[in-house]
Structure 1
Amino acid sequence: MSKQVVSRRVTVPDILALKGRQKIVSLTAYTAPVAALLDPHVDFLLVGDSVGMVVHGLPTPTAVTLEMMILHGQAVVRGSSHALVVVDLPFGSFEGSPEQAYAAAVRVMKETGCQAVKIEAGEALAGTVAFLVQRGVPVMGHVGLRPQAVHVDGGFKAKGRNDDERARVIAEARAVDEAGCFAIVLEGVSEALAAEITGSVRAPTIGIGASPKCDGQILVTDDMLGVFEWTPKFVRRYADLRGSITDAVSRYAADVRAVAFPGDAEVYRFKAKE
């Protein structure tokens, strides 16, 4: 009898082991159908708080709630079976104290079934990261451009443009690495800075607008698929779903108005009883 191969999810140690061996592939996901489409091709799926802007039309991610992250996290876990699933802890759910962060992380992991959480953490929150890791919560860090700090920064601005800022980003990355993060998202930093950080930390670095010098890459899926009219400089569009959807809806509307839809193939007809 042949032995049945049982697939399993990518684990945190699997991600750690890829550093220096193979580039790590990641995309965001917020729904079960999209998660199912992405799942075979990526190492991890991120349920990012970008869901607030991408799905809910919010101007920034700061209004995203823990309940929103849990709802979308549940959908992504249900829609996937291969990729590690990481869920963002939203603004206001972890900064107050290590205990607050632990309570939020445990709730997210229990209620979604995800395998890790992500925290936008500077040096000040390295202790919180360590607190979580020591209690069994895998943490992905996020340094450089931190969207949850949009109001402090006055917008979504690249980091490391001067010596002080560069030193601060390096210090942030090293602090969360030493605290035990299993991976670190580097957002909006120069190629040289990304290379320096990647070479100086144990954890794999995942770049978004941070050059190919990182250990892996992540993009917002809707940006990569061309859903929006505008995308950031660092995004490469691999499809034009905006154009495809517009064309499909236009043709549908025309068919409905011309009474060309539904047609014979889309209509139920029942035979009369003899």
Structure 2
Amino acid sequence: MNLLDPNTIQDLLEKGVTLLTTHGLKILIALLTFIIGRMIARKLAEITRKVMVRANVDETLRGFLRNIIYYALLAAVVVMALGQAGLNITSFLAVLGAAGLAVGLALKDSLSNFAAGVMLIMLKFFKKGDYVTVGGESGTVAAVKIFNTVLNTPDNRQIIIPNSSILSNTITNVSANDTRRVDLVFGIGYDDDLLKAKQILERIVSEDPRVLAEPATNISVHELADSSVNFIVRPWVKTSDYWGLYWTLMEKVKLTFDAEGISIPYPQTDVHLHQTEQ
């Protein structure tokens, strides 16, 4: 076919005019539907984001939900536009549904982590900066993401834990409350002066400014053990002072007991040998 032939050109023009006459309006309506629908989807997604900001929804969840809403609306707009263009969207929707099912099965674990991440963010069991024990690991929360949570350990290791593992196990949040109780046990020998040892413990605790007046510190004889008389020492401190006070008291009690002649016994076994006549 010679494209330069006048008859050929005439045929092409006639077919073009026929195509535009038959489908031009549908294509125009489809384009307008897509453009206007995309604008509406973007606007609704932005309104949703602002509503979540006013509701103090977590930033990570805000961004994710905004994108989910936008792309879901955009997919609906595309389907509407294809329908306006005169295309049969029934087969398209069937293929899209089958593809969605296959992707869902393939990403089953990821979807489980996603659902757990949404729950963690919404329920706020912990937040960035808290020291927690989750999924068998302990550390400071660096980030709570949709699919996983990132912890930084005291020795500066980074641990990434799938959110589903966190939600299906016990969560311990050390930083949840403003105050904590320091639980210590000190043993003295049975021959040592019990009242003197108790007075020493009370003095050491009272001299530390980090110890809170309320709740009151509990210093009591807790156990008459096999080789020692054990005191419990339970002062209350701000959560941020926990380890500082813990280490300070351990050191001061040992040094003071040594200076005051109070022994700190350790488990030992005495073996007695008896000779028998043959």
Q: Same fold per TM (> 0.5)?
A: no
What's the TM-score, normalizing by structure 2? 0.19
What's the TM-score, normalizing by structure 1? 0.19
Higher relative contact order (CA 8 A, sep 6+): 1
Greater helix fraction, Structure 1 or Structure 2 = 2
